Amino acid sequence: MPRRVWKTLGIFLVLLFLCSCTFDSLRTSDKNLGHELKKGSLKEEEIKKEEVQKFEINILAMGDMIFHRPLNAAAKIEDSYDYTPFFAYIKDDIEGADFALANFEGSINSERPMGKFPLFNFPKESPQSLKNVGFDLLSTSNNHCLDTGVEGLKETIRTINACGLKSVGTYLNDKRVDKIIEVNGIKIGFLAYTDLLNGMDSLISGQEFLVDTFKRDFEGDIKKLRERTDFVIVMPHWGNEYQYIGNQRQRELKDKIFGAGADIILGSHPHVVQNYEDYYINGERKFVIYSMGNALSNQREEIIGKKAVDTGLIVKIKISKSSGDERAKLESFELIPSLVRKERIYEKDTYRIYKLKDLLEGGKFFESLDDNTKNLARDRYEFVEKTINYKEAANE
């Protein structure tokens, strides 16, 4: 065979060998590249899973805390007062919440004698008992906050704060500080306003900053607080006493409060339970309970002739926020009817707050009750359930 042919054949074989190696190398590289991409994708998914966290906070709310004189007599121990036994059957619920709140319906003024209706002056130990059973914040903007004057209003705030509780709705001076709490990674802002001051408005003439009322630019307050928090709760003191359905004024204020950016409204003042609403505005869930009723008081039907004044609501709210979300949201809520029962123990009158379901058939206390109490509990439970589920009020 000519030399030129052998030379050409050799070159061809060498090129063929090189191409084969390169092709195998490329195939291996492709495999490796594919493997690396696959590994990278899995890693990214794992990172995303690690980065997305969900935060939750459980809030418990109750209505009016009114320390009437018969309650004070029942709580008196020598020269002091202890109301904690009144909460024995719901204490676990309160302590089980991440944050608990209620409305403090009165004032504290150690320079004046203990007061009765219509001017309430409560023992200075009353806030400490609320702290002891697990409460964290008290609304102080209501129609009884000025019952013992400006001095009483300020002492009430100081006494509440001194025992480790927060107060919202009344202030010591014009240096107003927003109430913002952060629990489990969620910032919640609180505001409280009253629609009436029992005609004592003149006591704060020129010092209106001492009490948050609906005469204030409350919508501006809400908008500003919304910008600084993940969630806003407003506690209004409004409506008509002993009326079981939210009225037109309450509904108008409700629309303004939600329109300004609040998320939840927890109402008080009527001294009976009122209805609730749960709906969405622009994709955000809103919840309002027009009145949570009496959390603790001596009001009873046989005394004032008004039905179910001995009942209230324990409102349990779950709020959640996932990392990356702009705001927190209302996850769920539960409305638990409660009853304040006057009892005779060791030849002394006392009071206990019960969850009404515990007094119904199958409940933990049912077997120990007399027939009258069983009937009362069933009547109250059915009445409260019917009241809170009334759905036509918003369309009146």
Rounded to two decimals, the pTM is 0.86
Please report, in tens digits, the pLDDT of each residue of the chain (396 residues total): 444 444 444 444 444 444 444 444 434 444 343 333 333 455 555 555 567 799 999 999 999 999 999 999 999 999 999 999 999 999 999 999 999 999 999 999 999 988 778 899 999 999 999 999 999 999 999 999 999 999 999 999 999 999 999 999 999 999 989 999 999 999 999 999 999 999 999 999 999 999 999 999 999 999 999 999 999 999 999 999 999 999 999 999 999 999 999 999 999 999 999 999 999 999 999 999 999 999 999 999 999 999 999 999 999 999 999 988 999 999 999 999 999 999 988 888 999 999 999 999 999 999 999 999 999 999 999 999 999 999 864 433
Burial class of 53 by CB neighbour count within 10 A (0 to 12, 13 to 18, 19+): exposed
Q: Which helix (H) or strand (E) holds 338?
A: strand 329-345
Partners of 350 in beta bridges? 343
Domain 57-395 has CATH 3.60.21.10: yes
Residue 277: which of 255, 256, 261, 309 has the closest Cα?
Answer: 255
The beta-strand segments (E) located in 105-175 are 137-139, 166-168
In our burial notation (b when 16+ CB lie closer than 10 A, e otherwise), range 185-221 reads: ebbbbbbbbbbebeebeeebeeeeebbbbbeeebeeb
CB 188 within 8 A of CB 231: yes
Handedness of CA 5, 9, 12, 14 (dihedral sign): negative
- Total residues found in the chain within this entry: 396
Angle, CA of 83, 84 and 89, to the nearest 5°: 125
What secondary structure letter does DSSP report for 245?
A: S
> Which positions ≥6 away from 207 have C-beta within 8 Å?
150
The residue type found at 139 is S
Q: Which residue has the tokens 């004698």?
A: 113
Instruction: Please give the Cα distance from 156 to 154 (Å, whole number).
Output: 5
Strands 348-355 and 80-81, bridge-based pairing: unpaired
